[in-house]
């Protein structure tokens, strides 16, 4: 097993040898598949000579340039603001950082600021009292406690003033490997504040915000667009904040409430305080199980200490960029949907990382870790990289600035740019567009050729596969199929005497074991892992299949119970089982197969808890895979579309929805109306029409991920139409996507007289 020891040069030598092998393997595949495919595709294009395609590429490129320039001019002209007089803004997390500064700035503008703090007698609260007017109120507010949130909301009601904006700023960050800590305590701590705290505060404030047609400002992060090693907890949480923002924006689009999302890069706040991170990391390491401590060793803490200065170096000292964006979101009549706060270098780097293929990103992340291990002065290296990026970006900005000054609005910009291209006739640009497109085609063809030839499989004899959620659906079918292949299957079920367990016992060999396993209960998970250890056989694969789904608007139900129930199974259960199985998987160099969903790529109204959970699963898979590079363990992620399983049993969903609606506070029920249940029922009938019955499509992919010597990183189990829809919804501008996704919903709401139309 590979270990990272920073001070040991000999270990570095052995660490680089596999990477040389990987590089040679990649080059061999490149020459074997990609280059012949590219040459063949280019020759085909050359012989056909499709002039229309040249024009199409050029027009698309010019449209992008024109749209960008028009957007900048629109932003310059969009300066109309609201009157702050008599309006309340509630800000969470005002002890330090963004929250403290935004509370002060809003008070200066004339708002009545309700500043939520953890420590009303702390330094941050005292500073606000000294600097601000009497309009500002310091309130004890821990967003993890419903009674404190209710108390603040009650005070706002009693003031008689409208709540104009809620700023969900409170958050915490932890930077440790995914399997450190006791059970799932680290994850739960991060999620309680960063996700459930946001949901709780938003739900409690929604009736007041609907009355004022105000604003919700959610502070996400640039980490909500990518995944990095050691920050899986934080990346998952910030992905969820972004998903939550998109969903509630679409659900409230007819209510007049605007939802704004901020995505700051790294800024010098308490979250990025290196000393705090180090203390917290040492505490978590001490709480980690001894078996996992031995895998990493004490030197791993020193490795963190050596790399932490890079975080400080990347962090911007001034937080004014973020505060200005928050204020724009609150005071502008027509704010942006997203404010991405960082310099052009940050934005370019994060954009590039978030759009790279997973396999390339994994390789680059691993290479970056090797570079950091071998560099004595990482700070100097980082400065050089930033220096190069800075000059490249400055050059691009200057060019864009010169072009932008030529035109005023979109249509003149497009016409002018097109005429300029037509007069200059840049042949090199035509070829550049064509080569880019052909490269994509050639890469796709090469990938398919590689996949056809990559048929090596492992020997299943004597190997254990643990599958969770085997009562019904994918889990039940996978357990049966794996038993037929010769694996020793440990099938985790909720009901050992249920129909699903009995069917497996009747159909399968004696190799298959039915085990009681509720993934939300640590003692049951430990019991299963202990039985695997006692068997003496290697655990080859873990299939994290157990999951639940609920389809209701985000503010239905009591407190955040619905979101917590979904996360307890779909996210925390998956993390718990993976953590307990990791020592055994490290011994066997085995597999982790996580079932996410296409809902982990899109954001759909009334599915906030499920979409957030499946985004988290996808991000967790990427983080684990990046952290385990070099250990031999492979992490595979499945993304099925709609299949007929127990999760989308529509009769059961209707019963759950009715129960949740009855538990919802009366003022929230009043804003939706009884007919909203009928609207959701009719919407489900549309989903039912596209639901597939052949679950073996998904089971085949699960088995492929287990038995293939070199499985894919992702298996997307859906039709080409669904893939195209998913890709489109992932890449469309948010404002256009909001329109497309809410247009049909609005007509159905009118038809059923639900939501904003139930009084009419």
**How many whole angstroms separate alpha carbon 738 and alpha carbon 259?**
12
The DSSP result for 375-418, as a single string, is -S-HHHHHHHHHHHHHHHHHHHHHHHHHHHTT-SSHHHHHHHHH
- At 640 the pLDDT is 94
Beta carbons of 89 and 260 less than 8 angstroms apart: no
Assigned domain for 301 exists: no
* Residue 697 binned pLDDT confidence (cut-offs 50, 70, 90): very high
Average pLDDT over residues 632-645: 92
Q: Does one domain contain both 325 and 442? A: no
Q: Lowest mean pLDDT: which of 157-166, 459-468, 641-650? A: 641-650
DSSP H or E stretch at residue 490: strand 488-493
Assigned domain for 598 exists: yes
User: 507 pLDDT exceeds 80?
Assistant: yes
Q: Which of 222, 379, 213 is nearest to 307 (CA)?
A: 379
Assigned domain for 446 exists: yes
* Residue 408 binned pLDDT confidence (cut-offs 50, 70, 90): very low
* Residue 12 binned pLDDT confidence (cut-offs 50, 70, 90): very low
* Residue 19 binned pLDDT confidence (cut-offs 50, 70, 90): very low
Name every residue whose Cβ is closer than 8 Å to that of residue 350 and which is 6 or more positions away in sequence. Answer: 222, 225, 226, 265, 342
| Alpha helices (runs of H) in 537-645, residue ranges in sequence order | 561-567, 574-588, 608-627
- Measured CA to CA in angstroms, residue 249 lies from 43, 89, 277, 537 at distances of 48, 19, 34, 51
Q: Does one domain contain both 441 and 495? A: no
Beta-bridge partner residues of 488: 464
- What six digits make up the tokens of 400? 């864009």
- At 619 the pLDDT is 95
- What six digits make up the tokens of 245? 């923002």
* Residue 15 binned pLDDT confidence (cut-offs 50, 70, 90): very low
Q: Lowest mean pLDDT: which of 24-38, 448-462, 641-655? A: 24-38
User: 524 pLDDT exceeds 80?
Assistant: yes
Q: Does one domain contain both 499 and 442? A: no
Assigned domain for 671 exists: no
Q: Which of 106, 133, 130, 128 is nearest to 117 (CA)?
A: 128
- Using CA of residue 369, residue 285, residue 563, residue 262, what is the dihedral sign? negative
pTM here is 0.82
User: pLDDT tens-digit profile of 311-344?
Assistant: 777 788 889 999 999 999 999 998 989 998 988 7
Report the CATH number that the domain containing residue 109 is assigned in CATH: 3.40.50.720
User: 357 pLDDT exceeds 70?
Assistant: no
If one counts every other C-beta atom within 10 angstroms of the C-beta of residue 270, the result is: 16
Helix-strand-coil split of the chain, %, nearest 5:
65, 10, 25
More confident residue, 405 or 211: 211
Q: What is the DSSP letter of 457?
A: B
Q: Lowest mean pLDDT: which of 46-50, 160-164, 453-457? A: 46-50
- What six digits make up the tokens of 696? 């073996």
Q: Lowest mean pLDDT: which of 427-441, 583-597, 649-663? A: 427-441
234 carries an active-site annotation: yes
- What six digits make up the tokens of 226? 């990518």
**How many whole angstroms separate alpha carbon 300 and alpha carbon 302?**
5
**How many whole angstroms separate alpha carbon 687 and alpha carbon 706?**
30
Q: Does one domain contain both 435 and 581? A: no
Assigned domain for 621 exists: yes
**How many whole angstroms separate alpha carbon 562 and alpha carbon 436?**
46
More confident residue, 102 or 226: 102
- What six digits make up the tokens of 170? 């409170």
- Give the total number of structural domains in the chain: 3
Residue at a domain's end among 420, 455, 490: 455
% of the chain surpassing 90 pLDDT: 49
- What six digits make up the tokens of 502? 């009995």
Residue at a domain's end among 288, 309, 342: 342
Report the mean per-residue pLDDT for the chain: 82
- At 421 the pLDDT is 56
**How many whole angstroms separate alpha carbon 397 and alpha carbon 390?**
10
DSSP H or E stretch at residue 539: strand 539-544
Average pLDDT over residues 210-220: 96
User: 677 pLDDT exceeds 80?
Assistant: yes
If one counts every other C-beta atom within 10 angstroms of the C-beta of residue 436, the result is: 11
* Residue 400 binned pLDDT confidence (cut-offs 50, 70, 90): very low
If one counts every other C-beta atom within 10 angstroms of the C-beta of residue 529, the result is: 21
- At 559 the pLDDT is 85
Q: Does one domain contain both 99 and 43? A: no
User: 536 pLDDT exceeds 80?
Assistant: yes
Q: Does one domain contain both 606 and 624? A: yes
| Alpha helices (runs of H) in 213-316, residue ranges in sequence order | 232-251, 274-287, 290-296, 299-314
Burial of 7 (0-12, 13-18, 19+ CB in 10 A): exposed
- At 630 the pLDDT is 79
Name every residue whose Cβ is closer than 8 Å to that of residue 223 and which is 6 or more positions away in sequence. Answer: 231, 234, 235, 238
More confident residue, 4 or 149: 149
- At 350 the pLDDT is 74
Q: If DSSP codes are grouped into helix, strand and coil, which group holds residue 40?
A: helix
Assigned domain for 223 exists: yes
Domain range for 474 is 464-644+693-730
Token pair 């009769």 is found at 651
Q: Does one domain contain both 43 and 84? A: no
Q: Does one domain contain both 257 and 227? A: yes
- At 160 the pLDDT is 95
Top mean-pLDDT range of 79-83, 426-430, 741-745: 79-83
Average pLDDT over residues 561-573: 96
If one counts every other C-beta atom within 10 angstroms of the C-beta of residue 379, the result is: 12
Q: Which of 314, 374, 319 is nearest to 341 (CA)?
A: 319
More confident residue, 454 or 679: 679
Q: Which of 585, 580, 752 is nearest to 683 (CA)?
A: 752
Q: Does one domain contain both 98 and 34? A: no
The DSSP result for 670-734, as a single string, is HHH-TTHHHHHHHHHHHHHHT-B--THHHHHHHHHHHHBSS--SEEEES-HHHHHHHHHHHHS-H
Assigned domain for 373 exists: no
- At 405 the pLDDT is 41
More confident residue, 560 or 382: 560
Average pLDDT over residues 514-531: 97
Q: Does one domain contain both 91 and 224? A: yes
Assigned domain for 63 exists: no
More confident residue, 276 or 473: 473
Q: Does one domain contain both 640 and 502? A: yes
Q: If DSSP codes are grouped into helix, strand and coil, which group holds residue 746?
A: helix
More confident residue, 292 or 402: 292
Q: Which residue out of 15, 104, 234, 580 is catalytically annotated?
A: 234
Q: Does one domain contain both 120 and 2? A: no
* Residue 691 binned pLDDT confidence (cut-offs 50, 70, 90): confident
**How many whole angstroms separate alpha carbon 578 and alpha carbon 181?**
13
Laid out side by side, the sheet with 88-91 consists of: 137-140, 112-117, 88-91, 163-168, 215-219, 258-264, 338-341
Q: Lowest mean pLDDT: which of 147-151, 225-229, 347-351, 608-612? A: 347-351
Average pLDDT over residues 168-188: 93
């Amino acid at each position: 097993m590979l270990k990272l020891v920073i001070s040991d040069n000999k270990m570095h030598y052995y660490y680089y040898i596999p990477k040389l092998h990987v590089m040679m393997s990649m080059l061999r595949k490149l020459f074997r598949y990609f280059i012949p495919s590219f040459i063949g595709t280019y020759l085909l294009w050359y012989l056909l000579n499709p002039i229309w395609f040249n024009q199409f590429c050029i027009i698309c490129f010019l449209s992008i340039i024109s749209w960008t320039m028009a957007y900048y001019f629109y932003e310059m002209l969009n300066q109309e603001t609201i009157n702050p007089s008599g309006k309340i803004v509630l800000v969470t997390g005002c002890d330090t950082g963004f929250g403290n500064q935004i509370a002060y700035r809003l008070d200066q503008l004339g708002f009545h600021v309700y500043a939520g703090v953890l420590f009303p007698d702390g330094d941050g609260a005292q500073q606000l009292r000294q600097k601000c007017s009497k309009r500002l109120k310091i309130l004890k507010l821990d967003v993890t406690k419903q009674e404190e949130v209710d108390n603040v909301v009650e005070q706002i009601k009693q003031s008689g003033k409208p709540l104009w904006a809620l700023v969900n700023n409170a958050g915490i960050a932890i930077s440790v490997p995914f399997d450190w800590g006791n059970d799932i305590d680290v994850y739960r701590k991060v999620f309680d504040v960063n996700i459930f705290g946001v949901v709780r505060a938003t739900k409690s404030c929604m009736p007041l915000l609907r009355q004022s047609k105000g604003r919700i400002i959610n502070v996400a992060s640039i980490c909500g667009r990518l995944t990095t090693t050691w920050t899986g907890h934080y990346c998952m949480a910030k992905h969820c904040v972004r998903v939550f923002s998109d969903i509630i924006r679409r659900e409230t689009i007819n209510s007049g409430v605007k939802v704004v999302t901020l995505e700051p890069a790294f800024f010098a706040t308490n979250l990025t305080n290196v000393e705090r991170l180090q203390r917290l990391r040492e505490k978590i390491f001490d709480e980690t199980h001894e078996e996992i401590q031995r895998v990493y060793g004490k030197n791993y803490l020193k490795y963190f200490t050596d790399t932490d200065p890079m975080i400080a170096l990347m962090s911007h000292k001034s937080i004014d960029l973020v505060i200005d964006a928050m204020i724009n979101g609150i005071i502008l009549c027509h704010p942006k949907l997203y404010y991405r706060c960082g310099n052009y270098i940050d934005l370019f780097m994060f954009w590039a990382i978030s759009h790279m293929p997973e396999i390339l990103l994994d390789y680059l992340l691993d290479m970056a870790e090797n570079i950091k291990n071998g560099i004595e002065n990482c700070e100097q290296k980082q400065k050089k990289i930033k220096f190069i990026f800075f000059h490249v970006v400055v050059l691009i900005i200057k060019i864009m600035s010169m072009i932008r000054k030529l035109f005023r609005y979109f249509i003149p910009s497009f016409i002018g740019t097109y005429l300029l291209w037509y007069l200059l006739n840049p042949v090199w640009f035509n070829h550049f567009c064509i080569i880019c497109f052909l490269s994509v085609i050639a890469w796709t063809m090469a990938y398919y050729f590689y996949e056809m030839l990559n048929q090596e499989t492992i020997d299943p004899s004597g190997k254990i596969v643990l599958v969770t959620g085997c009562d019904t659906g994918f889990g039940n079918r996978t357990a049966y199929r794996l038993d037929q292949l010769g694996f020793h299957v440990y099938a985790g079920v909720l009901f050992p005497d249920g129909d699903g367990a009995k069917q497996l016992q009747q159909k399968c060999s004696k190799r298959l074991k039915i085990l009681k396993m509720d993934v939300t209960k640590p003692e049951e998970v430990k019991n299963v892992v202990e039985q695997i250890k006692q068997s003496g056989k290697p655990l080859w694969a873990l299939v994290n299949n157990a999951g639940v789904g609920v389809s209701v608007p985000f503010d239905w139900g009591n407190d955040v119970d619905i979101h917590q129930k979904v996360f307890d199974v779909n996210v925390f259960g998956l993390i718990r089982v993976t953590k307990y199985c990791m020592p055994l998987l490290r011994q066997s160099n085995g597999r982790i197969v996580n079932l996410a969903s296409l809902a982990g790529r899109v954001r759909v109204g009334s599915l906030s808890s499920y979409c957030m959970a499946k985004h988290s699963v996808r991000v967790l898979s990427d983080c684990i895979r990046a952290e385990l590079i070099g250990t031999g363990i492979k992490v595979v992620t499945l993304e099925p579309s709609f299949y007929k399983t127990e999760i989308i049993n529509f009769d059961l969903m209707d019963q759950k929805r009715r129960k949740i609606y009855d538990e919802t506070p009366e003022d929230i029920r009043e804003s939706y109306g009884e007919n909203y249940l009928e609207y959701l029922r009719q919407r489900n009938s549309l989903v039912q029409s596209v639901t597939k019955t052949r679950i073996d499509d998904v089971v085949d992919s699960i088995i492929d991920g287990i038995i293939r010597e070199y499985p894919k990183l992702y298996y997307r189990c859906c039709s080409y139409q669904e893939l195209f829809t998913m890709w489109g919804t992932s890449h469309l501008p948010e404002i256009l996507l909001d329109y497309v996704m809410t247009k049909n919903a609005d007509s159905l709401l009118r038809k059923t007289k639900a939501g904003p139309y139930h009084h009419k």
